[in-house]
Amino acid sequence: MEKIKTKIIQIGNSRGIRIPKHILERLNIKNQVELIIDVDKQQIHIISVNSVRQDWEKAFQKMHQLEEDELLIDDGLDLEIDSESWEW
């Protein structure tokens, strides 16, 4: 665990902190974080929020290479539907 000190700075009508670039990179923090506020302990925890779909493209490519990307459920349309019995 590391401790760093930083100053509270003015950002428009709000106030914020600057987080050094090397820390953001090490923690893989991009555009969004989650704040956990514990008023009793006077603490704010900053948690990295990564995209839910992060690295999906790589995973799909690997599945394709391993031929593990076949459909489990046939999601095609049955083209022999009797459309005359439908109400339009």
Domain residue spans in the chain? 8-71
How far, rounded to the nearest angstrom, does the alpha carbon of residue 81 sit from its chain's CA centroid? 41
Q: What is the pLDDT of residue 70?
A: 80
How far, rounded to the nearest angstrom, does the alpha carbon of residue 12 sit from its chain's CA centroid? 27
Q: Alpha-carbon distance 69 to 82, whole Å?
A: 32
- pLDDT one-digit tens code per residue, 32-81: 899 999 999 999 999 888 766 777 888 889 988 998 888 777 776 666 66
Whether residue 45 contacts residue 35, with contact meaning beta carbons closer than 8 Å, is answered with yes
Report pTM.
0.50
Residue 21 reports pLDDT greater than 70: yes
